[in-house]
Structure 1
């Protein structure tokens, strides 16, 4: 059975589009599980070059691939989603 793919994250999309992509990524990872997987590597790869570059800057001085997935997700969402006042 061929596994479905996921489109790259549009970093210029709306906040709701970003949240929806992260939700779809979580679902995509859940159907790919058949043993141990590196969810951080999947996230950085599936999101595309723009996501990797952004997270490299946000995570500095750490390498994004060394951070847990939940940390990467929080960095992304905290950067792209509007702050409530």
Structure 2
């Protein structure tokens, strides 16, 4: 999967999340922490930096996947 482009349209973001969730379903791990870790690994450096800034003072890894998705 390609990295998430933070300059994408909202439709592109939705498509990315759908495709990521389909990928995550192929993994046997379905705990929320595991899906968050996979997601944070997939999105790339620029997107992670943006999430880290938006999540302050929390760390992105401590947030539920549903919160990151919003």
TM superposition score normalised by structure 1: 0.73
Q: Distance in 1 between matches of 2:30 and 2:11?
A: 30
Q: Distance in 2 between matches of 1:41 and 1:35?
A: 11
Structural mapping, 1:2-17, within 5 Å: 6-17=1-12
Moved over 6 A (4+): none
Give the gaps of 5 or more residues in structure 1.
1-5, 75-85
Structure with the greater alpha carbon radius of gyration: 1
TM-score by length of 2: 0.87
Unaligned segments of structure 2, at least 5 residues:
none
CA shift, 1:35, in A, is 3.5
Instruction: Count residues with an aligned counterpart.
Output: 68
Which has the higher relative contact order, 1 or 2, with Cα contacts under 8 A spaced 6 or more apart?
2
Question: For 2:20 and 2:30, how far apart are their aligned partners in 1?
Answer: 17
